[in-house]
Structure 1
Amino acid sequence: MKVMVMVKASASSEAGKMPSEALLTAMGEFNAQLVDAGVMESGEGLKPSSEGYRVHFNGSERTVSQGPFAATNELVAGFWVWNVNSMEEALEWVKKCPNPMEEASDIEIRALYGMEDFADADPSGEIAAQEDELRQTLEMQKSSVRNYLFFAGRCQEALDFYTQHLGAKVEFKMHFNESPEPMPADMLQKGFENKIMHAAFKVGDVTILASDGCNDTDTFSGFSLALTVPNEPQAHRVFNALAQDGKVVMPLAKVFWSPLYGQVTDKFGVAWMIMLPDA
């Protein structure tokens, strides 16, 4: 279940008083524990209500008022969104939290609604499907795409050329014989052990990924798009969609550089590398 954990405002937070170094350190350590436990999804602090606005709705009328707002104990100074197994688990985590204010303070926990809570108002499931589509769209907006070039044994030559003529900066380079895992038998052409397995170089503000590939017989006919997605369900969804009427080159699997990685060529002949970011 998802919960919102709200730090209630205090006189000091409404006055804009910044936390001490000791408090920032303690809260940072607590946040690290939440992340390590896989509980924390997001968390932010809010500026005083004096820098905020409220919009009052009454039918078609909209009335705007500017802070500060009264009833400090009803305001929120910061929040987390946690994914926990139960409200009891959320309570146990809150009890471990350092006092978020220099003075006495309160933290409120509220469960978030899920679409299943609105089942009676959505008997066909159409609204739930729309919400799921919106969620997927939001997740995909966090994705990134990079060009991945294969040079059939001439990668170092290409890196040198781009460095000399384009001012490229090589940010990372690994040869096949430096791989922390042995290459599959007969995958590499003889003599390619010293070739570049993976490299990253920057031209201007764009980072390009590159490799020698596994042999020198493949002609340079294009490139692969490396798509990093935010989570495992999205990786499987995107991979399966691209594989439909296409060709799976390497099924999604855990590799040493990514928790999940696979290669697929779509029905239009575009080569894709789908991966999760390394933790």
Structure 2
Amino acid sequence: MKVNYYLNFDGDAADAFHFYKAIFGGEFMAFLKMNETPDANKLTEDEQNRTLHIALPIAEGVILMGSDILPSMGHQFKPGNNMYISLHPESRKEADRLYNGLSIDGAVEMELQDTFWGAYYGSFTDKYGVKWMINFDENRS
């Protein structure tokens, strides 16, 4: 299983990741804007220009990932709540096991489900306040 760090920002994810890129070097593995989503027309103009997902390898086997929050979806940015542990299991079965176990008595953000970007994904805060993402992508396992 791969483990990565996922950071949330309030409209400045792209700026932050360009800064990190200047320090760590390398190239972005992914850089998608919110206007590339199927429901982009439901977002404000500002939100359409926000970062949906960005990924930068920073060390051997370590990828720093991030995105911007969407205030129109009820997201609230607070320093301290902007980091997730992103787990990338090697099977759907393992994704289910991790999600079902870690989310017990927690607060689900997004149920584990197939997504438009092709992954089986869910996110939640566990009962201890730790934020998690489970992302199984059979094309990248």
- TM-score of the aligned structures, taking structure 2 as reference length: 0.82
**Do the aligned partners of 1:168 and 1:204 also contact (CA within 8 Å) in 2?**
no
Stretches of structure 2 lacking an aligned partner (at least 5 in a row): none
Structure label with greater radius of gyration: 1
Aligned counterpart, 2:65: 209
Aligned counterpart, 2:53: 198
In 1: Cα distance, 2:130 partner to 2:26 partner: 26
Q: Greater RCO between the two (CA within 8 Å, min separation 6)?
A: 2
Shift of 1:156: 1.3
In 2: Cα distance, 1:274 partner to 1:184 partner: 27
Shift of 1:176: 0.6
Aligned counterpart, 1:250: 110
In 1: Cα distance, 2:29 partner to 2:15 partner: 16
Displaced runs of 4 or more, over 4 A: none
Stretches of structure 1 lacking an aligned partner (at least 5 in a row): 1-142
**Do the aligned partners of 1:162 and 1:168 also contact (CA within 8 Å) in 2?**
no
Question: What does 1:1-279 correspond to in 2, within 5 Å?
Answer: 143-179=1-37, 181-183=38-40, 185=42, 188=43, 191-205=46-60, 206-215=62-71, 217-221=76-80, 222-279=82-139
In 1: Cα distance, 2:119 partner to 2:28 partner: 25
Q: Which has the higher helix share?
A: 1
- Relative to structure 1, is the Cα distance of residues 241 and 166 closer, same or farther in structure 2, using a 3 angstrom cutoff? same
Shift of 1:184: 8.9
- TM-score of the aligned structures, taking structure 1 as reference length: 0.44
Aligned counterpart, 1:133: none
Please give the per-residue CA displacement for 1:146-167, whole angstroms capped at 9, x wherever unaligned: 1111111111110221122333
In 2: Cα distance, 1:238 partner to 1:249 partner: 15
Q: Which has the higher strand share?
A: 2
Q: Percent identity?
A: 30
